[in-house]
Amino acid sequence: MMKQPILFLSILFLTGISLLASCSKDNNLEHYTYYKPVFKSKAEVRANIKSGPVRNVVEAGKIFIRDNYLFLVDVNRGVHVVDVTNVDQPRKVAFILIPGCADIAVRGNFLYADCDKDLVTIDISNPTSASLKKVIPNIFPEKFYYNYYNGYSADTTKMVADWIRVDTAYVKNINPQPNVLYAASSPSNAATTTNGTGGSMSRFGLLNDRMYAVSNYDLKVFNMADASNPVFVKNTILNQGSIETIFPYGNNLFIGSQSGMFIYDTANPDNPVKLSQFTHARSCDPVIADNNTAYVTLHAGTTCGGYSNQLDVLDITSLTNPVFIKTYALTSPRGLSKDKNLLLICDGTAGLKIFDAANASDIWLIKQLPNMDAQDVITYKGTAIVTTTKGLYFVDYRDPVNAKVTGVIPVSK
């Protein structure tokens, strides 16, 4: 049994907790919900990395698509497998339990994910019967494990295997007597080697037979020639710092950071070389590229700092000398995607925006779909698959003027 301080610190720490504000009052009770960590040994965790029954989405994260399957990260919990054969009627078909998961990539019949500090390779030749194939342990030491808090070092043989919802009620301290905290209810029930496509907010990027993974300050290279057996090649420290995203395009890597966009050449795939950079005001910064143009969204916030909320468009005809074209004002942009002349931008609480980007100097809004806190987007057969704080939205944009939501997989805490 875990010691009491572990549970106490885990509940307090923000990385591992989902604490909801009070939503009702009854007889001087205030009701709250939080998620309590379930600890298991690493061996137990790895034994349970496999497909299981579908689950509710708690926190929609990164997305990756290959063929007719969409893979949606449920932050720190695992990956939902969604069949999009009929994109107008998406359906969850399985849930792969991967504790500590934030990023994924898919190559051929294999899914790669971070499992706390490990990289796991999962056979998804049958996504409803996925199984663990390989583990590269402690390859992501930079991932902050939440139990290292207030001077307390967690038991390194254990990790969080799952989260249990707990509903609690707090007795208001109306009279001068001690407060009481107690549980108000029980926990809820809780092939080929082609590369898939990820969203623009990803930290994992596939380019030919390599996978590149960025952290706040480094770039890791993995040889994926044998998709079932990824091999770690090298780690390069990036002097830029505050790295957030990676977007492979052509033979290059477009890396977004809070201070700018950086372009790396992969002529030698195991030794990417910096070609150039475009520096901007401090903001969060996903980036995509298409033909000779790069699109960089900047958004401000408590994490990113700065005050910029905009789209910067760059001419990258010369990769060694990106040239600024124009800035477009936005509300709070995040991820983005391009489909021919259409540019789709997740503009936070302003929703999904679809632009005509045929002329980089004169990008104009075609359609805005509000009422969704849009975070990232992948375009797939005329459908925009959008992650939001409310869940996964499917938007038919084949007629962009009349683009509409055709399906939703909601968040259900």
| Cβ contact 130:122 at 8 Å | yes
Continuous H helices in 111-164: none
Q: How far apart are CA 294 and CA 313, in angstroms?
A: 6
- Could you give the CA distance from residue 248 to residue 213 in angstroms, rounded to a whole number? 11
DSSP 3-state of 261: strand
> Per-residue b/e over 260-294, b at no fewer than 16 CB within 10 Å?
bbbbbbbeeeeebebbbbbebbbbbbbbbbbeebb
Between 52 and 305, name the one with better pLDDT. 52
Give the H or E element holding residue 43. helix 42-47
Q: How far apart (Å, rounded) are the C-alpha atoms in residues 228 and 408? A: 33
pTM beyond 0.95: the answer is: no
111: which 2 tokens? 């899914």
Alpha-carbon span 372 to 9, nearest angstrom:
33
- The SS3 call for residue 14 is helix
Is residue 285 within 8 A of residue 258, CB to CB? The reply is yes
Q: How confident is the model at residue 239 (pLDDT cuts 50, 70, 90)?
A: confident
Query: In sequence order, what are the residues at sequence separation of 6 or more whose Cβ sits closer than 8 angstroms to the Cβ of residue 223?
Result: 209, 210, 230, 231, 233, 270
Give the pairing of strands 25-26 and 364-369.
Answer: unpaired
Higher pLDDT, 38 or 320: 320
β-strands 118-123, 273-279 pairing? unpaired
Above 80 in pLDDT, residue 88?
yes
113-124 mean pLDDT: 96
Sign of the Cα torsion 136, 139, 140, 144 reads positive
Q: Which residues are registered as beta bridge partners of 38?
A: 162
Residues 6+ apart with CB under 8 A from 20: 32, 33, 34, 413
Whether 295 and 280 have beta carbons less than 8 Å apart is answered as no
Tell me the two tokens of residue 190: 């809780």
High-pLDDT (> 90) share of the chain, %: 65
Q: How far apart are CA 354 and CA 340, in angstroms?
A: 12
Residue 188 binned pLDDT confidence (cut-offs 50, 70, 90): very low
Q: Give the model confidence (pLDDT) of 133-170 as tens digits.
A: 999 999 998 865 433 333 334 456 666 666 666 555 44
Close Cβ partners of 151 (under 8 Å, ≥ 6 residues apart):
none
Select from 379, 374, 377 the least CA-distant residue to 390.
374
Q: Which phi and psi (to 5°) does residue 16 adopt?
A: -105, 15
Band of pLDDT at residue 327, cut at 50, 70 and 90? very high
pLDDT for residue 34: 52
pLDDT more than 70, % of the chain = 75
72: amino acid identity, one letter: L
Q: Is the dihedral of CA 344, 389, 305, 238 positive or negative?
A: negative
Residues 163 and 405: their CA atoms lie apart, in Å, by: 31
Contact 194, 222 (CB under 8 A): no
Which of 136-150, 251-265, 308-322 bottoms out in mean pLDDT, i.e. has the lowest?
136-150
SS3 131: strand
Position 386 scores a pLDDT of: 98
Identify any residues that bridge with 391 across adjacent strands, giving them in sequence order: 388, 410
Please say whether the beta carbons of 84 and 71 come within 8 A. no
pLDDT of residue 69: 97
Given a cut of 60, is residue 311 above it in pLDDT?
Answer: yes
CA-based Rg of the chain, rounded to a whole angstrom? 22
pLDDT: which is higher, 32 or 4: 32
Give the tens place of pLDDT for each residue, 17-72. Answer: 344 443 444 445 555 555 566 666 777 888 889 999 999 999 999 999 999 999 99
